[in-house]
Structure 1
Amino acid sequence: MELKVGDKIPNFIAKDGNGNDFDSQDFVGKKPLVIYFYPKDNTPGCTTQACSFRDQYEDFKDLGAEVIGISSDSFESHQKFATQYKLPFILLSDSDKKIRKLFGVPSNMFGLLPGRVTYVADRNGEIQMIFDSMMAGKHIPKALETIKKLAL
């Protein structure tokens, strides 16, 4: 079951990059969210995407939004990834791929690679934009453009 524009962000709990429990209910319905699923820490495309979100993070924060990255890497891997690239946003570990399934994120490359999909939700938790592309750098401008429209 794939989430669509107009659906609500589902509830989920995951480990963040510090090994703490992250509960989506602490964010959903309180502020606009950019939730992006990516294949793997420290791969060229994923590093480019994470660093692009890092470089624009203040723009998202200024508009009241939070950025959350999710992959199946361990929280220890996320911790190293965040430290190495000075990532200021939340990274969540989805090692059992339950969150990916909850959102209905498709796999790419004949099912060999976890998909790269960005969801933007308004402050009510309603999905306003879904961008599915393996082109890592294209996600950030699309997400920022949507967040700017929500801020009007």
Structure 2
Amino acid sequence: MLKEGEKAPDFELPDMTGKKVRLYEILKEKKVVLYFYPKDDTRGCTKEACTFRDMYEDFTGQGAEVVGISSDSADSHTRFASKHSLPFVLLADTDKHVRKLYKVPSTFGLIPGRVTYVIDQQGTVQYAFNSMIKPLEHVQNALAALKRI
């Protein structure tokens, strides 16, 4: 995992519509809560995404944008975001390149990990959290970290 104080690697991935989204372009305007999750429409991932949705205004009120990343396709993200009315972007890391850049560990070497980073506008990781079994803590902890920076 990346550690607090490390520079967040820049990347570009397609969003739900296929449009390329670049991290450092978002950082020109806002801080970023970058969360990696295992799979669209699974129990823990849905709880996490819906909690980010329900607290989205709290995040934007802190000058941050929420960005979710999984290995699912753009089409899968479109269905997931539509089904749960997600107001933030989901990016398709189908080849797991960005997951590797961010050193997101797998569980049992098979299940893609769940890691959340809070990145300031200078591109520095200010907070990092890794937990497969506590999806809601990712949201609460990220908001608390934003309030500290």
- Quote the residue 1:73 is aligned against: 72
119-128 vs 38-47, which deviates more? 119-128
- Quote the residue 1:118 is aligned against: 116
- Asked if structure 2 preserves the Cα contact closer than 8 Å seen for 1:12 and 1:99, the reply is yes
Q: Please, what is the CA RMSD of the aligned residues?
A: 0.9
Aligned length: 148
Stretches of 4+ aligned residues off by more than 6 angstroms: none
Question: Normalised by the size of structure 2, how large is the TM-score?
Answer: 0.96
1:30 Cα deviation from its structure 2 partner: 3.6
Q: Give the aligned residue type for 1:76.
A: D
Structure-to-structure mapping, 1:2-151, within 5 angstroms = 2-108=1-107, 110-134=108-132, 135-150=134-149
- Asked if structure 2 preserves the Cα contact closer than 8 Å seen for 1:9 and 1:28, the reply is no
Gaps (5+ residues) in structure 1? none
1:77 Cα deviation from its structure 2 partner: 0.4
Distance in 2, Cα, partners of 1:121 & 1:107: 22
Percent of pairs with identical residues: 52
Distance in 1, Cα, partners of 2:32 & 2:21: 14
